Structure 1
Amino acid sequence: MAEGTLAAVTDANFDELVLNAEGPVLVDFWASWCGPCRQLAPILEEIATEKGEKLTILKMDADANPVTPAKYRVTGLPTMNLYYKGEVVRSLVGVRPKSAILSELEEHTA
């Protein structure tokens, strides 16, 4: 069950869509039972609308796709990992205001 307009990524297509992507990709690890994840979703959709050309934002349901979150040691939800050239360059855990998320991502999306 995907919420909103952000595209979903799965264990099966993670390498292709995230690790092999041209530019920075923010992956939102979430779960349907996670209240803070639902709070974060509209904030990320706003950021995707504003930064669409410079930043790809994808959602991964951590319950449906256990391999990737385990590989990247995602233990708390929501976790947002920013990947660039196949590496995690920033990891944000928990809900933050839009301005705080944008400032964390700024050096990679400017």
Structure 2
Amino acid sequence: MTSNRPYLLRAIHEWINDNGMTPYILVEASAPGVRVPPSTIKDGRVVLSVASRAVARFEIGMETVSFLARFGGVSHSIELPVSAVLAIYAQENGQGMMFQSEDPPSSPPPEPP
């Protein structure tokens, strides 16, 4: 089956917005394919506001989260593999969802009997 992470990200993002809160995402900055300004990275991670007032062209696809955001007055194109997103939560109260690391399985799961 495909990953449920993009579906959950979209649902939690919508839920946070519907409740008038500010959605933030926590990203593993060292994951392959993460494109963020280096100055935003702290301890190998980055926290990004994905509120509609803070970003443009926000999209959660099956493989990638992408949007435009301004840092220090300069617009940047942000691209994040969905698998690099560790959490999505409301800035005001911390409610949201954490995700486990999506390491590829070393071998296929066993077949049911």
Both proteins in one fold, TM over 0.5: no
Larger radius of gyration: 2
User: If the TM-score is normalised by the length of the shorter chain, which range does it land in?
Assistant: under 0.3
Query: Hey, which of these two has a bigger chunk of strand by percent?
Result: 2
Of structures 1 and 2, the one with the larger relative CO (CA 8 A, separation 6+) is 1
Write 1 or 2 for the structure with the bigger share of helix.
1
